[in-house]
Structure 1
């Protein structure tokens, strides 16, 4: 009887870790999709358009170079 209890506890622990992994995977996929949208938007801008980047944890935006911003966003998508 005791081995069955241990097995059921083990499977529940595995389910919890699986749920955590799937949630993490979904969150990562969401961030990747968002980053791809940003890259596409920057890629399709006309050359004379201005680009602003937001200061972290702030509502302040700074004028940025479009090419550098695009390169930075593309770099976030590459995996080392």
Structure 2
């Protein structure tokens, strides 16, 4: 079994300053969805057996590279923390 991970580090790119409440609500819902997705990724990585391989997708491409499970987990954790902070700031 192989786990392919795509950690989304683009939470800030989705944060636009819109004047309307509807636009802000839409951004907040989108960010909330990304937070939930990131939590699933974290759970999957945390529960992998030691001998499983993890591949990370390169940004804006269909190329995957073998990655270290620990580094990938910490990168995804930082991304999740960043998304949570952005969500609270909204």
What TM-score, normalized to structure 2?
A: 0.68
Spell out structure 1 runs of 4+ moving beyond 2 A: none
What TM-score, normalized to structure 1?
A: 0.76
RMSD: 1.4
Structure 1 unmatched ranges of 5 or more = 1-15
Larger fraction in helix: 1
| Greater relative contact order structure (CA < 8 Å, 6+ sep) | 2
Structure 2 unmatched ranges of 5 or more = 1-18, 86-90
Larger fraction in strand: 2
Number of residues of Structure 1 aligned to a counterpart in Structure 2: 65
Q: Which protein has the larger Cα radius of gyration, Structure 1 or Structure 2?
A: 1
